[in-house]
Amino acid sequence: MTIYEPSTRTAPPAVGLADARGSRSAADPQSAARATSPDDVVVRIAGLHIGFRGDPDVVTGVDLTVRRGEVVAIVGESGSGKSVTTRSIVGLAGDGARVRADRFEVLGDDVSDLGERDWRRFRGSRIGLILQDALTALDPLRTVTKEITEGLSSVPRRERAQRVESLLTSVGIDDPATTRARRSFQLSGGQRQRALIAAALAGDPDLLIADEPTTALDVTVQAQILELIATQARAGRAVILVSHDLAVVSALADRVLVMQGGRIVEEGPTRDVIDRPVAAYTRELLAAVPGGAARPPLREVPGAVPLLTARGLRKSYRSRGQTIPAVSEVSFEVHDGEVLGIVGESGSGKSTIASMITGSAGRDAGELLFLGAPHPAPAHVGRIGLVAQDSVGSFDPRHLVREIIAEGVGASATAPENRADRVLELLEAVHLPPDVAARHPRELSGGQRQRVNIARALGADPRLIVCDEPVSALDISVQAQILDLLHELTESRRLALVFISHDLAVVRRLCHRLVVLHRGRVVEEGPAEQVFEAPADAYTRDLLAAIPTL
């Protein structure tokens, strides 16, 4: 249960954040115009505090105003308070939350004392919420039609099917009649996110809250979803965008609020915040955005046997009586100390190739060689490691960190009596303190868990590690730290990586060479900088054009 109550503090004077912090001198003409129309204000919050069961407040003194037709972005790392702030606007701050504010108005109503029944009236019909993970937000047992019709209670039953198809068409679904009959697990990531947006729009809300709506999406799908959200703002809806990615924010938001430790440390027009940041924390976030030149290719050693060779790989799957090709005639090489990036959209075959390299999936045709010998083979156990995207899902929740890392050490020649020392060595290698060994993964941050994931992969002293989307779920500053760690390991250990990602900006920062996949086939391959600066294939050019930039 969430408790909303007025703040006991005296209401402050009506001073904007820019005045209070002296952070902005440049005026925003659009914001100035909106300020002259009080009826356009959709959200007006002053002095917001949120705490849980006697613990210190996780949100302190937040002021927020959002107007119709405006996109306001709230950015910050995990734990900064951005999501709980926006969820409080829909009465979903969390179980045991205590929400206090000097002023808390949504769509002209004081919501500081609303009960759950009243909040239900707001949600859907007046406020739409788009969550990050559409796969968990959508019920896998219900069709898309049932998900969307929840918000269509005022529409006559005979008209609802047509209204669902109209909503799906408005969010860019090409075949709405087929899509509405499907369940979430039968849709691609982009289709699921579009269905979730359609459900959020079903009640024709005045306010749309998008909480990390593009984090797990391919760069081209991300661009489409961002344009879809921008369209809603142009139609007059107020939009609050929650994100840790300033490059995404720069493409969409009119204004930005930067949160750290539950407080707003900077606010202003988007271009001002990005081009002339005032707060040190904002500058740190901007510095962590991937960019710059790609790593140059490694110097070739004449006559050297490649560490990994793939020739003509093919793999298909059966689905509903049909054969669906996942990988077709894929060939590449990886050399000692080299980072090979494999990029492409969902369904391009990236993870299937990762599974073939690690031996967790077979192949229909083609050849894999490890140091010139057929792979997989018993002699190669421990020589190829894996860093998966979902570190939590790949850990046994009952195990301590030392037991998780010891799983990897167990595949090496390390004597059992020396494994505890080896675990500590690996923690040091990934820059974690020794006391982490005695903790559970749930006690660690996302970045710490991914470091444990890397330490486990290093346990058997592999020559090659397959990194399957290892940073896609991390905050941008944590992402930068993990990329720096991987770079350091390739340099210090002559370790080779196959780095799989949908994020080309991340790939550019780390990889020597790139393989671009489209529908299971290699459409381009070459040194990373060459691919970025002079792409030969139209599909590669489309991918590069969709990368959000500051």
Reduce the secondary structure of 359-399 to three states and give it as a string: CCCCCCEEEEEECCEECCCHHHCCCEEEECCCHHHHCCCCC
pLDDT band at residue 32 under the 50/70/90 scheme: very low
Alpha helices in 295-415 (DSSP H): 350-358, 391-394, 401-409
| Spatial distance between the Cα atoms of 86 and 74, rounded to a whole number of angstroms | 9
Inform me whether the pLDDT recorded for 22 exceeds 60. no
In a domain, 91, yes or no: yes
Judged by average pLDDT, the poorest of 106-110, 126-130, 135-139 is 135-139
Same domain? For 227 and 341 the reply is no
Q: What angle do CA 89, 92, 95 make, to 5 degrees?
A: 140
Q: Per-residue pLDDT averaged across 55-71, rounded?
A: 94
pTM: 0.79
pLDDT for 30 equals 39
In a domain, 145, yes or no: no
Q: Per-residue pLDDT averaged across 169-188, rounded?
A: 87
Burial class from Cβ neighbours inside 10 Å (0-12, 13-18, 19+) for residue 519 reads: middle
Same domain? For 249 and 111 the reply is yes
Same domain? For 416 and 508 the reply is yes
Query: Of 238, 253, 286, which closes a domain?
Result: 286
CA 82 distance to own-chain centroid: 15
| Spatial distance between the Cα atoms of 164 and 180, rounded to a whole number of angstroms | 7
Parent domain of 51: 3-126+205-286
Among 264, 207, 238, CA closest to 48:
264
pLDDT for 408 equals 86
How do residues 501-537 score in pLDDT, each as one tens digit? 888 888 988 999 999 999 899 999 999 999 999 999 9
Judged by average pLDDT, the poorest of 19-33, 127-141, 306-320 is 19-33
Inform me whether the pLDDT recorded for 54 exceeds 80. no
How do residues 392-439 score in pLDDT, each as one tens digit? 778 888 899 999 999 888 766 677 778 889 999 999 999 999 999 999
Same domain? For 354 and 491 the reply is yes
**Tokens at 72, concatenated:** 């306001």
How do residues 99-120 score in pLDDT, each as one tens digit? 999 999 999 989 988 888 888 8
In a domain, 533, yes or no: yes
Among 385, 382, 384, CA closest to 413:
382
Q: Per-residue pLDDT averaged across 5-24, rounded?
A: 40
Among 246, 242, 216, CA closest to 473:
216
pLDDT for 412 equals 66
Listed ranges 220-229, 294-303, 312-321, 432-441; the one with the highest mean pLDDT: 432-441
In a domain, 267, yes or no: yes
Q: What is the largest CA-CA distance in the chain?
A: 77
In a domain, 381, yes or no: yes
| Spatial distance between the Cα atoms of 184 and 171, rounded to a whole number of angstroms | 16
Q: For residue 434, give the CATH number of its domain.
A: 3.40.50.300
In a domain, 136, yes or no: no
Q: Domain count for the chain, please give it.
A: 2
Whole-number mean pLDDT of the chain? 86
Same domain? For 314 and 244 the reply is no
Same domain? For 248 and 329 the reply is no
Inform me whether the pLDDT recorded for 36 exceeds 80. no
Same domain? For 442 and 320 the reply is yes
Same domain? For 222 and 109 the reply is yes
Same domain? For 235 and 111 the reply is yes
pLDDT for 16 equals 33
Q: Per-residue pLDDT averaged across 450-464, rounded?
A: 93
How do residues 233-288 score in pLDDT, each as one tens digit? 999 999 999 988 888 899 899 999 999 999 999 999 999 999 999 999 999 999 88
